[in-house]
Structure 1
Amino acid sequence: MIPETIYSKYSQAMFDIASEQKKLTEFGTELKGVRDTFQENPDLWKFLNHPLVPPQSKKDTLAKIFKDSLSPIVLQFMYVMIDRRREAALLLAIDGFIDLARKAQHIEVAKIRVVKPLSKKEETKLVASLEAMTGQHIEPLYYVDPSLIGGMVIQIGDKLIDGSLRRQLRDMQHKLLQADVTNGVTDE
């Protein structure tokens, strides 16, 4: 586990630059793209973290991959971490920046588990109702979970909204069992 002190100063420095330039959203989007690229390409992540690969080779590779899609400042952010041999903390630093940006923009993350992906119209309607309910901007993160059977489960911070069919069936079973016990019905 990488200590927070190692990556938080990079997150904070990037946040300060983005705030000063009024580019929190832009840099956040770019850094999410970098994070997603590393998560989707584990070999690239291994290459970046290999101790025998020289820093310049790592930076050249990142430049080839990202130069057309990232701001020079975002590339420089990654280069500084590589030069200081902190590439193993890069994803944590990116996540730290994203958290700081969300707080500054009053954005709450909603982790939404659904049985199957929602249509764009359904997503828009759901986010609008969650924003109305919380009074916050909502950034939805969708997860497909067939075990729900139907409905959805939404977690926003420490609040949990369980509208799954699985929970409703469990509640119904519990009520039926309670009614049986109350009425003296047994399996004998």
Structure 2
Amino acid sequence: MDISGGIKASLAGRYAAALFELAEENKQLDAVEGSLAKLKSALADSEEFATLTTSPLVGRSEAIAATQSVSDSLGLDPLTTNFLGTLAENRRLAQLGAAIRAFSTIAAQYRGEANAEVISAHPLTDDQVAALKAKLKSLAGRDVNVDMNVDPSLLGGLVVRMGSRMIDGSLRTKLNTLASAMKG
């Protein structure tokens, strides 16, 4: 499988590529993707877990023990548990979020899909997400996995990042553009 050099060029990308190759080899892609989704959610929802991954004050042995505890409580598959332990052992837990995103990109490439990150001012309904996916599919020419995030500071609208393209239809950006134009 050809993985783009851009992903492998980063530290997180190399970890993600190694995890992907192991998951594919062991036919556990779905299990690993599910576990990584749980980890991503835990990073977003748990300030303690986010601090564990980024704090230089957490020692190697404490990080290993904490990641094992997190793995057990989240019910992660053995491959992802080992991956998390390797990150902790190598003092690379700060790369976890980037490695999850890189894995998602690699998995989407493998399935012939595209990834899009969508940031909205408020949570979108299922119908809105489905319509957005259909529109992005028509732009990309293939199925699109959508990673939804909410940022109330956008005030309204969406920001969509798909590959090297970014579409910023947020109210915040429109107001900033208007303010700049009014300054003359």
Q: TM-score, normalised by structure 1?
A: 0.66
Does 2:13 align with 1:8? yes
Residue of structure 1 equivalent to 2:42: 37
Residue of structure 2 equivalent to 1:74: 80
Q: Percent identity?
A: 21
Which consecutive unaligned segments of at least 5 residues does structure 2 have?
1-8
Residue of structure 1 equivalent to 2:64: 59
Q: CA deviation at 1:10?
A: 1.9
SS in 1 for 2:76: coil
Aligned pair count reads: 167
Does 2:93 align with 1:83? no
Q: CA deviation at 1:16?
A: 0.3
Residue of structure 2 equivalent to 1:106: 112
CA separation in 2, counterparts of 1:127 and 1:105? 16
Q: CA deviation at 1:74?
A: 0.5
Q: Which has the larger radius of gyration?
A: 1
Match of 1:130 among 131, 136, 147: 136
CA separation in 2, counterparts of 1:99 and 1:72? 22
SS in 2 for 1:110: strand
CA separation in 2, counterparts of 1:47 and 1:159? 33
Q: CA deviation at 1:77?
A: 0.8
Which consecutive unaligned segments of at least 5 residues does structure 1 have?
175-188
Q: CA deviation at 1:137?
A: 1.5
SS in 1 for 2:136: helix
- Greater CA drift, 95-104 or 66-75: 95-104
Amino acid at match of 1:22: K
RMSD across aligned C-alpha pairs, in angstroms? 3.4
- Greater CA drift, 63-72 or 105-114: 105-114
Amino acid at match of 1:84: N
Q: Is the 8 A contact 2:158 2:170 kept in 1?
A: yes
